[in-house]
Structure 1
């Protein structure tokens, strides 16, 4: 017999007691069907209750025995959940749920409630490494289904999740929210690392403790969607994210438009993560018999900190997502900072000679080569008119491409096919192709507007821009695809439902890119958007690399590339040597070598010793680029709280490593006072340490040592000092295994 004391507060205590008792009874008497979604080290475990509700009741490190997941719930002694659906696998609005929903609808009859019940599940083995779990849910009252798809990449410990929404009601259903994923993470405290920025200030990190309520990460820009906030984030349990320890999750939306991530700490201190397209101004009318497929949400969960999580994601990206992620890349010379808009055929042919002299693979012709009625001599005119400018290029692009072929240099070209200047023939002929409100004044971002890619005619036009370039120039070897404007005054002359524009635009973009890749599957393309304003893993299916920022000051790039590297591998990051920054040419080249190396400098104006160094650096880069592009990355010393930064790349066999170190402080006597502890090496292997990329005639005390070999154990436990200081502001080391 249980005695409950009477007096003040008795009813409240009785209510709490009964709630806990009911919760204990429910968990102890309900035998649930268990659906584990596992990688080699992590698990998301779904439970199907007797009343066919699906709950997410375990999210964490993989257990050895599947049966033990059921025992986890019995170890919880948190507050009760009066709704009973806080941990729903895909929470719906309008019924019992009073937390943020993953899905919200208005049925054909006007009802706003939705309750999803388990129907079936299926597990498919896609490959030896990939397993896909499909979960079908249905409303018991309405003919409305949601299929949840979980794709687990076991070795890389990455999971993708998305939803497929289908209805067969007597009329259209309005989708007001349609998330890709709805995670539930048990814990006591969670920390968020998010990113913000603007042009030339991309990937600025902020770390905060998540408080009760909702923290939303989102964008509403339409295109160039990542300009202020990218779709990537890090969450850690119990303490701030750390590099080599602690439980952390790296997450991102695979979508090149408006996204939304809701992070809600509930009354039990657990974290609800709801991620997908942004539903702001984007309700969607779903017709009977049709399916609405959401973009993929991806995450990797690590118990060894952000370092291991990022290596998981980088490995996955190279193998499964980035176009030719395990292949090679082209080093290049870009003409932008040499000429800007002021060039002609003769200047370009001279630059082709500089490309050959420098020793890189490709010459990239940037903005300004097109338009005649409104010539592209600045950014106020010409976008949309993709005919070579007759004054600058009287013999067309073909003449320059042919000269590049003769010189043994590959040729690439810049385009911005999604945009239009009001001062263009395209705008005059097809104003209905432009996204703009018919009754409101036009408002420009960088003097341009966005073409309506929801319109199939516009899709054909954009595809034709690329196709025509390749048809006329079969040896064209590279495309730089830019996107500089956001969407103002959103309105499509093509669509009946204006709230669907943001979604239809991105889908139209993907249709164009799919056509390009179907016809030109291997041509390298850079994803550019005034910097990293658009990079995500849906876009990188079609692109070999992305442009992290127009800010190429090498000191700034040390910080930016450090943060980008948590989510994207070095092979995908274009890094150019430019005139930005006051650092010496060696510092600039060393920083650019951490990604896909390029140059955007007037080669003819380099001093002889600078040119000689750049030529030798290109040769050195070609010796180590495979390790940088395809190796495992380890962050050693963070630039955010030290006088210098240090990181390294190690090949998969652990035979070779490349270590970069940079001075990031100009304070007196700043530098590497203590040795840097390496990571990722074979402790039983001996390595020879050599400094490379030395400036002309410079000597290295590291290379002068008689015995310059060390065990991997020594290098990782005791460390090695790269000797970074004001006289040696950037140092590149190569560690090579020796017998």
Structure 2
């Protein structure tokens, strides 16, 4: 961008000055400086005299943009012999000595790659969102990479991805193809990562990063986040705390194999390289073909983990999760009430319980399909999506009609990516099944995947959903499950098996895009044996996700706490079930910290418990907008004390709700100290009242007293928790 174009840009974009400041600041000594600025942060790139594109700054933005060019001179570290340690997108095989972002084999067999800056353009999408494109090209080969930086000014979020193409005379093999390559400077780096398994999702671990490469990855194909989620935090200088510290959040928007390399180099700087996992996936790129990587998103805060999470939640509600600013349906699920053992009459009775309870929707779970091989357990019928005539002689349509008569909505469970070896679909289309020829089949939950890289399979999966809605136009909800990982990866459709893992996920997204094009507003839950597929690549097609099959409320407090760092409450489906030893009140209070549902036998509830649930749902309907759309503050960490406390406050800071739980039941444990609130207006006055009281109990909290926001944030408020009073929900409102 020359000086004339630069001035023209300033003039033409004056109206978006409040949006992301994304432009070429100066060209000094043939160095082009490109800052990507949001409300509080800046990522600053520089194309130097040799046309190498480098990262020269990342963190809280400077008041004077011209000073970014002086940042590098303040660091007196070991020499960068390759001059590529801080490359914005590191190629391999030329000068580079560290982990590359991209590695290729050219059509002539050469494995080297160099990427030189060509030009960049900026597009103002609206007054909050800008898109920067930077074009890089190999001087020796007709090979090009375009870096994309989509920045969200108010939310301090950046999405980054790449497009790769070439015009060489033959196939170029992409051996690695990251979405992003960040470079951070700090004396120390601390990693917060997550691990888990079924019913043990989102278990946190923290460690200081040492020299070498720490890799977070998955090779599961589907349910990629089962053992290791693709989200993480990096704290600079020292471990970040809830309300202080420099913290970077990262997440890959991809539902398949991922790889995140965290390399502390010999200069003591951190290089973050994130993208699809190149495991077993060298990609053969034809001349003129465009290879697009998924987006890697990140946000930075110098005010701790809580501030970073609120930025990410705000971004997700406004830009990523389907209908993130909309409403959600409370529901009653039949799974724990019946499992596979039900018939039309049982379901009709449960439908009436839905109305009796006061929720919006009845969800029919697994077991409603299959005739030649009935779905009476998890060993058969996946793929045979016709109603079981013995269980449902009048079909799904009669249940949808009955729900309408009762005055409720009807939803249904499906697992359309999967096939049971004992199914008609498997018998008719063995070539549609992901399995290695000449090798024994190995099952995960007694099932296999359908090959979504095959367009015919994509058509079939789409037809499963489309057929349900065509036959039942009033169907109001889909629970989309995915319970297996990929063993013996092989596609009978693909000629090049190294494309399989990538093309499977692309095929899944193609199906979901078709579904959303025809049914844009139908609520859908993303379920994957729990949190096995919780990522923003998938969540753009879903209204909510299922965090875990573990619904023990004590366990859920910890899980939901960790999920909330990356995902807003409006997206988290939380059900009241019979798991755990806690009271119905405790279970319901925990489930209210998100999108509330029930999975219980309503007819077996004692009178007072039913009365409590009915009143709790009314209370929830009163405060759900604050929970779903308000700012979330973690007040008392369950891992560091006997009390957990979570606050949601509306944008105007006039009302909110606080969930408090006793998580340590040892003798004498209680809320000995007041819990300090956050996010209030110090000058406003508030009243705090307890809601969700169990029938026949009286709150020890005086709801007539008033407190200033200053008092509540500096002194706090005691919810009066103890081993006899383990769950307390408080609603506060401004008093004028």
Q: Identify the TM-score tier after normalising by the shorter chain.
A: over 0.9
Query: What's the CA shift for 1:358?
Result: 0.1
Secondary structure of the residue aligned to 1:538 is helix
1: CA distance between counterparts of 2:264 and 2:279? 22
**1:128-165 CA distance string (max 9 Å, x none):** 00011100000000000000000010000000000000
* Structure 2 residue aligned with 1:607: 606
2:502 equivalent to 1:503? yes
2:714 equivalent to 1:717? yes
Query: What's the CA shift for 1:708?
Result: 1.3
Query: What's the CA shift for 1:312?
Result: 0.1
2: CA distance between counterparts of 1:248 and 1:562? 17
* Structure 1 residue aligned with 2:541: 542
2:165 equivalent to 1:166? yes
2:726 equivalent to 1:729? yes
Residues 702, 708 of structure 1: 8 Å contact kept = no
**1:22-56 CA distance string (max 9 Å, x none):** xxxxxx99552100011111111001111111110
Secondary structure of the residue aligned to 1:477 is strand
* Structure 2 residue aligned with 1:373: 372
Q: Normalization by structure 1: what TM-score?
A: 0.96
2:526 equivalent to 1:523? no
* Structure 1 residue aligned with 2:360: 361
1: CA distance between counterparts of 2:683 and 2:262? 44
**1:660-687 CA distance string (max 9 Å, x none):** 0101111111111010110000000000
1: CA distance between counterparts of 2:583 and 2:646? 20
Alignment of 1:620-639 (within 5 A): 620-639=619-638
* Structure 2 residue aligned with 1:202: 201
2: CA distance between counterparts of 1:241 and 1:430? 53
Query: What's the CA shift for 1:187?
Result: 1.3
Secondary structure of the residue aligned to 1:614 is helix
Residues 310, 566 of structure 1: 8 Å contact kept = yes
Alignment of 1:263-662 (within 5 A): 263-662=262-661
Residues 385, 425 of structure 1: 8 Å contact kept = yes
2:262 equivalent to 1:255? no
Residues 277, 295 of structure 1: 8 Å contact kept = yes
* Structure 2 residue aligned with 1:4: none
1: CA distance between counterparts of 2:705 and 2:364? 45
Secondary structure of the residue aligned to 2:403 is helix
4+ residue segments displaced more than 2 Å: 28-31
Query: What's the CA shift for 1:641?
Result: 1.0
2: CA distance between counterparts of 1:346 and 1:398? 14
Query: What's the CA shift for 1:541?
Result: 0.6
Residues 192, 207 of structure 1: 8 Å contact kept = yes
* Structure 1 residue aligned with 2:128: 129
1: CA distance between counterparts of 2:102 and 2:89? 7
**1:174-231 CA distance string (max 9 Å, x none):** 0000000000001111000000000000000000000000000000000011100010
Query: What's the CA shift for 1:697?
Result: 1.7
Secondary structure of the residue aligned to 2:94 is coil
2:245 equivalent to 1:246? yes
2: CA distance between counterparts of 1:603 and 1:30? 75
Structure 1 runs not aligned, ≥5 long = 1-27
2:230 equivalent to 1:231? yes
Secondary structure of the residue aligned to 2:151 is strand
* Structure 2 residue aligned with 1:20: none
Secondary structure of the residue aligned to 1:735 is strand
Secondary structure of the residue aligned to 1:109 is coil
Residues 322, 544 of structure 1: 8 Å contact kept = yes
* Structure 1 residue aligned with 2:14: none
* Structure 2 residue aligned with 1:108: 107
1: CA distance between counterparts of 2:73 and 2:443? 58
1: CA distance between counterparts of 2:203 and 2:596? 23
* Structure 2 residue aligned with 1:183: 182
Query: What's the CA shift for 1:238?
Result: 1.0
Secondary structure of the residue aligned to 1:123 is strand
Structure 2 runs not aligned, ≥5 long = 1-26
**1:266-308 CA distance string (max 9 Å, x none):** 1111000000000000110000001100000000000000000
Query: What's the CA shift for 1:644?
Result: 1.0
Residues 193, 241 of structure 1: 8 Å contact kept = no
**1:684-727 CA distance string (max 9 Å, x none):** 00001000000002111113x6x411000000011100011111
Query: What's the CA shift for 1:241?
Result: 2.1
Secondary structure of the residue aligned to 2:71 is helix
**1:581-602 CA distance string (max 9 Å, x none):** 0000000000000010000001
Residues 172, 285 of structure 1: 8 Å contact kept = yes
* Structure 2 residue aligned with 1:11: none
Secondary structure of the residue aligned to 2:234 is strand
2: CA distance between counterparts of 1:698 and 1:736? 23
* Structure 1 residue aligned with 2:699: 700
2: CA distance between counterparts of 1:671 and 1:736? 26
The count of residues paired between Structure 1 and Structure 2 equals: 710
